[in-house]
Amino acid sequence: MGGLAAALACGRVGWQPRVYEQAAKFTEVGAGIQLGPNATRILEGWGLARALSAVAAFPRQLRVRSAHDGAQLGLLRLGETIAERYGAPYATIHRADLQSVLLDAVRAAGIQPRLSSKVVAVLPSDDGVTVGIEAHGRVEGEALIGADGLWSSVRTQVWGDRPPRATGHLAYRGVIAQSDLPVALRSHDVNVWLGPRMHLVAYPVRRGSELNVVAIVQGRSPGPAEDWDQEALAVELQRAMGRLCTPLRDLVWAMPSWRLWSLNDRPPMRSAREMARGPVALLGDAAHPMRPYFAQGAGMAIEDAAELARLLAIKPGRDVDVPLALRGYALNRWRRGARVQALSRRNGRIFHATGLVRWGRDLALRMSGERLLDQPWLYGTAR
């Protein structure tokens, strides 16, 4: 996702990007994604408003509810309210649909991603960077943007970092056609259910025809840390979630299947050096992987792509100093990315709170829900 966004953005400002993807084909996998106005504003600026509206859903509100008794704790108006407030909508979309929107735009711009192209070597130099591609030999370029996710090969080779670490949280995901759900369980809102040591998020995708459900609990992964598509059973999820109100329990059991992955991350960034070195830069989860408690993973990658293109923009009569531009990109982006990383971690503690902290959280949401749930600093224009 981040790689396609970066290719599209940089192609719009005069570059000729080449996209190398290690997968053999683009497949319809993954869960839903929430896109705040900070992300949809950029997509609309790239001319993708119509394509986005053809596949996304635009929820009317975000409701926070108790997992134990179903009571509403807080509400944030979305729909026209948030679109008017920030000049762009709040959208929910299936990951595969966002990938298709970006892929179609990239191909329309004359950029054809190369599949089955795993990066196995990165050799920066004063003149650019040479990249070794498995089964394809070496390619050269002026810059390399590592947008290869949490387990980034580019990060490992250039930065020499250790692998991401387990958070102790497991994410279960499922998607179901709304028509297959009882009427009482269908929804065109974002619903967040909070309980001790767990929470569940459900929201519409595919123009509202399907409901995406993600439940996060505490526990150890039964499979490899890198495997984000493991089989899972509803009975296991029910056991991990504990006592639930009837509507939430019914929703868990209504899903036709569940997939599981273990959440891993890195500490919040501490400097721009973690995002760019010479002619190599990182983008999205490769730079700042974050826990899914702030719904900003895709948003931060899209913001990264827009800022990268702004700094690399080719202008008549002026050469681009690529290492300098990439350093500027990192300087402009790392603090915001680190802030979202830290807040995502904090939200996880709040969402899964027990005892007095849980009581205080619920009271605060009941008294000031919209003010607490809105994020002007995030949804407004920023780099």
DSSP 161: P
- Residue from 369, 301, 360, 365 nearest 336 by CA: 301
Reply yes or no on whether 203 is catalytic.
yes
Distances (CA, A) of 321 to 53, 280, 329: 38, 13, 12
Distance separating alpha carbons of residues 87 and 276, to the nearest angstrom: 31
Pairing state between β 32-35 and 198-205: unpaired
Q: Pull the structure tokens for residue 270.
A: 């501490």
Q: Which of 86, 90, 172, 203 is catalytic?
A: 203
225 burial class (0-12, 13-18, 19+ CB within 10 angstroms)? middle
Residues 6+ apart with CB under 8 A from 271: 334
Q: Give the type of residue at 54.
A: A
Q: Cα–Cα distance between 347 and 292 in angstroms, integer?
A: 9
- Alpha-carbon distance of 53 to 1, in angstroms, equals 18
Measured CA to CA, the distance from residue 25 to residue 97 in angstroms comes to: 15
Residues of the chain by 3-state class (helix, strand, coil), percent to 5: 40, 25, 35
* DSSP states of 101-122: HHHHHHHHTT--PBPS--EEEE
Q: Show the tokens assigned to 282.
A: 């990182």
Which of 300, 311, 304 has the alpha carbon at shortest distance from 339? Answer: 300
CA distance 6 to 375: 25
What is the residue whose two structure tokens read 């895709």?
298
What kind and span of H or E run contains 168? strand 165-177
d(C-alpha 35, C-alpha 352), whole Å = 23
**Structure token pair of residue 11:** 């192609």
Q: Which residues are catalytic?
A: 203
